[in-house]
Structure 1
Amino acid sequence: MKYMNDPRLLGTKLKEYPIEEMFRQPQQLPFTLQQYEPGEIILLEGVEMKSLLFLVEGKVKITSSIETGKSLLLRFIHPFSIIGDIELIRDVPVQSQVKAVDQCLFIGLQFDYIKKHEMDNPKFLHILLEHLSYKLQTCTTASRVNVLASVENKFASYLLSTIAPEPDTNFGIELKTSNIKEIADLLGTTYRHLNRVILSLSQKKMIERDKNSIRIVNWTVLEEMSNGIRYK
């Protein structure tokens, strides 16, 4: 992670997203600008969190640890998203692991400042409540999928959550196969079982797999298999 001293970029992002309007005196707020590289851990479960983070660029993966030491996928988040709302309100350590999928940019505001100046601000609390309720909805969905859905259903949901369609085509940006073991862990299955699922979907012409990547071929059938569930 690196802090960026770029007032122009900060000003642009503050205008692009409804951050300043949440606060009473936005021109005086001690905002920070933080950049994370692809694959970089943003937050680890159990650590103390000191700033509320507003995602303004990039995609982030949220996972939760289980007793076996593996992680389960909860959701992917995109701009505009807030990280740290639960930790701020409940005064608890970080509840989930947060990892950058691609290069990410955050605007941060320290908890100490918020607790001193904004915790009785109705507009700030209202927007925080909107994000918390959406987070609860997505986490409830993810929990139901992780417990009840088959690996085929979960993998279809994962593919449709992570592979964006290319403009004017029915194909999607490739998913690299180097992280199949990680994906299997996130979906609560084994590497071998997930490989069997991938082989089956390839034979059914729903996806194409080569040595290094997976591409969606039949979006319609995968949509049906996912039951409309997305990890986001």
Structure 2
Amino acid sequence: MERIHDSILFQKILRENPIDEVLTDYQNYPLELVLYKKGEHIFKYGEPLTYICFFISGRAKVYSLLSNGKHYLHTFYHQFEIIGDAEFVNQLKITTNVQALSDVYCLLLPLKPCHKMLYNDRKFLRAACCHLAKKLDTTGQFNSHNLLYPLEERLASYIINTSENLVFDENLTALSELLGTSYRHLLRTLKNFCDKEYLKKENGVYKIIAPKKLEALGADIYMSYY
């Protein structure tokens, strides 16, 4: 994580994002602009909640670690999000992992000096409640998608959400676990995408050659909460 001391960029982000809709007199809060590099964790399961995070730009995935040691994919972030609201309201440790898939800009609000302010901020509590209601509503949809949608559609959505410059390059063993399938089934599905000319394997990575077809195939499976 890198703290960004750029007042012009900071003010631009405040103007272009709905911070004033989730914090009363946001100028009174010690917001920090930070940058997470690709691969860094914004939140890690089991760690204490030390700040509220406002996701600004970039791409990140949200996943859980199950009791059997496997990972379970929830969704992707790619626009303004409040992260940490559920843990704040319920006074819990962090319940999911949030990992940057590209460079990600966030505004962080440290809880230690702001805990009482946030509990007395009706605008924040209202925004948190609305956000939690949306999460509750979409959790059932995500579970249905993971259980009922075929791997082909879930993989198409994953590829579209995680590729960079139309290049998909992931650890396929880890990905098969994340999508709840076997490594062989994953390879067969990727080969099928290549046969259909959605992808082309080149130098150990997959290049996307039909992004619109993949988008249509995986539309709305892994949506963001906000």
Q: What band does the TM-score fall into relative to the shorter chain? A: 0.7 to 0.9
Classify the secondary structure of the residue corresponding to 2:171.
helix
Q: Who is 1:183 aligned against?
A: 175
Classify the secondary structure of the residue corresponding to 1:215.
strand
Report if the CA contact (8 A) 1:74-1:231 is conserved: no
Q: Who is 2:193 aligned against?
A: 201
Q: Who is 1:86 aligned against?
A: 86
Q: Distance between the aligned counterparts of 1:137 and 1:226, measured in 2? A: 20
Report if the CA contact (8 A) 1:157-1:230 is conserved: yes
Deviates more, 1:39-48 or 1:111-120: 111-120
Report if the CA contact (8 A) 2:101-2:162 is conserved: no
> How far apart are residue 214 of structure 1 and its match?
2.2
Report if the CA contact (8 A) 1:156-1:222 is conserved: yes
Q: Who is 1:210 aligned against?
A: 202
> How far apart are residue 6 of structure 1 and its match?
3.0
Q: Which structure 2 segments of 5+ residues have no match?
A: none
Q: Which structure 1 segments of 5+ residues have no match?
A: 165-171
Structure 1 224/41 Cα, relative in aligned 2: closer, same or farther at 3 Å? closer
RMSD of the alignment, in Å? 2.3
Q: Distance between the aligned counterparts of 2:23 and 2:190, measured in 1? A: 48
User: Residue type of the partner of 2:15?
Assistant: K
Residue deviations 1:144-164, cap 9 Å, x none?
A: 122222222321222233348
> How far apart are residue 64 of structure 1 and its match?
0.7
Deviates more, 1:65-74 or 1:152-161: 152-161
Residue deviations 1:101-145, cap 9 Å, x none?
A: 111111111224443123233322222223223333333222212
Q: Who is 1:58 aligned against?
A: 58
Structure 1 224/46 Cα, relative in aligned 2: closer, same or farther at 3 Å? same
> How far apart are residue 72 of structure 1 and its match?
1.4
Classify the secondary structure of the residue corresponding to 1:214.
strand
Report if the CA contact (8 A) 2:59-2:77 is conserved: yes
Q: Who is 2:43 aligned against?
A: 43
Residue identity over aligned pairs, in percent, reads 29
Q: Who is 1:169 aligned against?
A: none
Classify the secondary structure of the residue corresponding to 1:118.
helix
> How far apart are residue 74 of structure 1 and its match?
0.7
> How far apart are residue 34 of structure 1 and its match?
1.9
Report if the CA contact (8 A) 2:63-2:75 is conserved: yes
Q: Distance between the aligned counterparts of 1:42 and 1:81, measured in 2? A: 13
Q: Distance between the aligned counterparts of 2:15 and 2:215, measured in 1? A: 35
Q: Distance between the aligned counterparts of 1:78 and 1:218, measured in 2? A: 21
Q: Distance between the aligned counterparts of 1:161 and 1:91, measured in 2? A: 31
Could you tell me the TM-score, scaled by structure 2's length?
Answer: 0.86
Q: Distance between the aligned counterparts of 2:112 and 2:123, measured in 1? A: 18
Classify the secondary structure of the residue corresponding to 2:119.
coil
> How far apart are residue 231 of structure 1 and its match?
4.3
Structure 1 10/223 Cα, relative in aligned 2: closer, same or farther at 3 Å? closer
> How far apart are residue 68 of structure 1 and its match?
2.8
Count of matched residue pairs: 224
User: Residue type of the partner of 1:17?
Assistant: N
Report if the CA contact (8 A) 1:88-1:111 is conserved: no
User: Residue type of the partner of 1:60?
Assistant: A
> How far apart are residue 2 of structure 1 and its match?
2.3
